[in-house]
Structure formats: structure tokens, C-alpha cells
Structure 1
Amino acid sequence: MPVTPASAGAPAPGADAESLSYEEARDELIRVVGELEQGSATLEQSLALWERGEALASRCEQWLIGARERLDAARATAAE
């Protein structure tokens, strides 16, 4: 049976990243980067980790954009 990212112990690309808090996504992204930096994963595992990292980075960016918008709105309200 071929090794797939899910069966190899690597996280499924994009699985539930949208439901993670900023801190959860950030912490998992740090773990994923650490695994990639070790270089001990197979090519298939590395690709799955990379894809997961992209999904997690996107989730973190969404949170940060939302936070920026909230700060801008609060500043605009305070300036009125």
C-alpha cells in the first residue's frame, strides 16, 4: 500500500486550519517548520507538511488582518 500523507503521520493538508485560533495555528506552524527543517521526512511527507504549513500561515494571516481591521475601526471610533 502506498504511503499517503495521512497514513504517514503527516497532517492532512488544510484539514481544519480554518477552525484554529491564531495561537493554535501559530504553534502548529512552528512545529511543521521544525519538522521540515529536520529534513528527515520523505518527499511525500515533506510535501504534505509544506501544504499544511501554507494553510496554517494563511490562517494566521487571516487572524492578523482581522485584528488590524478591528484596531483601525477602534481608532476611527475614538477619533470621532
Structure 2
Amino acid sequence: MNKKEGIYIGEIIKRWRRLKGISQEELAVRSRIDRSYISELERNQSSPSIFTVLKLAKGFGTCPGQFLAEIHRELDFDQIFEQLV
């Protein structure tokens, strides 16, 4: 995963949390993810697995497809794919 991808994912998580008006602690409880890990994600110190993305979607009260669609709109998946191959 490149630095740019991680930055965008962290920004998306932080933006969604702020739009929902919830704290990191509240998102942690709703998502069943440690609050310190959510902080790491938002600060781009960690990149979420697909399972974490699914938990975050649950915490945001949305379907995983909607949350993944938001990530997809903001990331260049063709570029990411080429770097993985």
C-alpha cells in the first residue's frame, strides 16, 4: 500500500466520523475497534484491512458498500492495482 492510499483512507475515516458528529471513542465502541487504532488510522500510521473497513462501516451505521464506494470515489484503484502486481 502506498503512502497516498493510506492518506486518503485516513482522511475518509476522519471526515465520516466528523460528519456523523461522533468521537473516536464512540466510533471505537460502535465498531468494536480499539480507539487508539482508530487514531492511528486517521493519522495514517496504519492502513485498515478489509475486515476493519467492514467494522468501520458498521460503526458509521452504513452498509459496507456505501463506505467502500466513498473510498473508491477518492482512490485511483487502477494505480493501486498496478503497484500491487
Structure with the higher fraction of residues in helix conformation: 2
Whether these two folds match at TM > 0.5 is no
Larger radius of gyration: 1
